[in-house]
Amino acid sequence: MSTTTVAELKSALGVGSLYSDAVIQSVCDAADNALLPFLWKNDVPIVAHSSEGTIGTLYFNQDIREIFYVGQSITIANAGSRYNGTKTITGVGESSITITITAGSNNPYHVIQPFGTASAETYTDYSAIPAIKQASLMICVSIWTSRQTNSGNGMSPDGSIGNMYAMSSQLIARVRGLIAPYLSPDSMVG
């Protein structure tokens, strides 16, 4: 479910039934794609994997012994079809875990690009936090207006000048005050 609902965005934009729910939902999803990676969540990037029979090993660039434990259920994404899905951890090392996967050929250690993710149980529902909901709605409105108006440097027929920076890094900067208590330290690099 998106942080901003279709009904909330339609109401904020005042578009009623002028646009289909699918079009409005795509904007809500885009806002989540822009906003949610900046928020703190209970996941770790998977940098590589290997397999031997039905035993898959996932590798991380950090010590994960205090993050994951044997018997824990995690959700793996973007790590390959044999690894993806909800899995139970069968072993934990300093920077690796083992899981049971479907049988296949043995694969040596190899890097995953872009990184996969291993997500444990989530304790925070961002769609229930008013500041996050408002930030999401503001991003939705920015995306919508950028789609509907001239975004070049020129002047549109109605005399307004488009904002070529509307979808730049300033998109998140405009809502950073609202999301500051929930920002992940990992998103603040650079």
Q: Quick one: 133 and 103 in the same domain?
A: no
Which of 119, 147, 169 is the last residue before a domain boundary?
A: 119
Quote the radius of gyration of the chain (alpha carbons, Å).
21
Query: Total structural domains in the chain?
Result: 2
Q: Quick one: 57 and 104 in the same domain?
A: yes
By CB neighbour count within 10 A (0-12 exposed, 13-18 middle, 19+ buried), where does 40 fall? middle
Whether the per-residue pLDDT at 154 is higher than 70: the answer is: no
> Residue 186: what pLDDT?
75
Range of the domain at 157: 6-40+124-188
pTM (2 d.p.): 0.74
CA atoms within 13 A on the CB side of 133: 12
In a domain, 179, yes or no: yes
In a domain, 18, yes or no: yes
Q: Quick one: 133 and 149 in the same domain?
A: yes
CA 46/CA 94 separation, integer angstroms:
14
pLDDT tens across 62-117, in order?
999 999 999 999 999 999 989 999 999 999 999 999 999 987 778 899 999 999 99
Residue type, 22: A
Q: What is the mean pLDDT of residues 13-41?
A: 92
- Chain-centre distance of CA 19, in angstroms? 26
Query: Encoding tokens for residue 63?
Result: 């010590």
Q: Quick one: 35 and 129 in the same domain?
A: yes
Query: Encoding tokens for residue 86?
Result: 């909800």
Residue 163: pLDDT band with limits 50, 70, 90: low
